[in-house]
Amino acid sequence: MDIPEIQHQAMGYDRTATMFSPEGTILQVEYAEKTARLGSSSIGMICTDGLFILADKRIKDKLIIQESANKIYEIDSHIIASASGIVSDARILIERAQLIAQQNKIIYDSPVEPEIVVKEIANIKQQFTQFGGARPFGVSLMIAGIINKKPELYSIDITGNYFLYYANAIGENDEKIKEKLRERYNKNLNIKKGVRLALDIFKEIQGKNFTLDQFELVYIKNEDQKPIRLIGEEIKELIK
């Protein structure tokens, strides 16, 4: 006999991240996933000449200095990341990722591989679904980087699972965005065409609420391996 979700809560299945419900789910993890899907959206994409992440900053308050509300973070000179969900949770994980990159550079005198950073952050997220006394991180992460002139794009979910992608989306309307990416993405896109596609998808999803000023773009080219950040109208100049 199925037990309604409201009865699950009454029985305490959602009071800890270490207790499974009768259906085999961890309710605190499911709640954290919902939180991550309420956050602002990002699209990441692998292109022929590099990679990029395009993020909706969703900051419309004119009193806020835009540069203080960046949604795309620099992990190292060749690795970038975006987050969706509780930004303060993301900050803790981003700072840990930056530390991993710095330690690798000091110890091995070489840039860290993106997957090493991704795996460490995924392990931390997994721990917070297994041990008591703390809630899961309420944030999804997208991490992109270039190593040996090869672009890589990863996404880490609430449970600590991660996958390598050609293109992906996190945040609000992520499933709708991913469906459009499945239909229209192809491996022959360069960064300029890829950004144009990502903006078109955002425009279709957001409709009359779409404004270019609320978007932030960071891209890395295979040759340069340095992140370039563009905001608002600067993005329009790139895709001309």
**Which residue, 167, 119, 99, is CA-closest to 91?**
99
pLDDT of 117-169, one tens digit each? 999 999 999 999 887 778 899 999 999 999 988 999 999 999 999 999 999 99
Residue 221 lies in a domain: yes
**What token pair was written down for 60?**
């419309």
How many Cα neighbours within 13 Å face the side chain of 129?
23
Residue 147 lies in a domain: yes
- pLDDT average, residue stretch 221-228: 91
Cβ atoms within 10 A of the Cβ of 21, count?
16
Residue 164 lies in a domain: yes
Helix axes 191-206, 174-184, angle to 10 degrees: 130
**What token pair was written down for 90?**
């993301």
pLDDT of 165-208, one tens digit each? 999 999 999 999 999 999 999 999 999 999 999 999 999 999 99
Residue 153 lies in a domain: yes
- Those residues with Cβ within 8 angstroms of residue 223's Cβ, 6 or more apart along the chain or in another chain: 49, 149
Q: Alpha carbon of 168 to those of 26, 177, 186, 189: distances in Å?
A: 25, 8, 13, 15
Give the position of tokens 């297994």. Answer: 130
Residue 159 lies in a domain: yes
Is 124 within 8 Å of 89 (Cβ atoms)? no
Q: Which residue has the higher pLDDT, 161 or 63?
A: 161
pLDDT of 5-42, one tens digit each? 555 554 667 777 778 888 888 888 899 999 999 999 99
**Which residue, 229, 236, 210, is CA-closest to 56?**
210
Residue 215's domain comprises 20-238
Is 40 within 8 Å of 57 (Cβ atoms)? yes
Residue 51 lies in a domain: yes
Is 159 within 8 Å of 135 (Cβ atoms)? no
Question: Which residue type is seen at 137?
Answer: F
Is 97 within 8 Å of 121 (Cβ atoms)? yes
Residue 2 lies in a domain: no
Instruction: Give the chain's domain count.
Output: 1
3-class DSSP state of 180: helix
Structure pTM? 0.90
Residue 12 lies in a domain: no
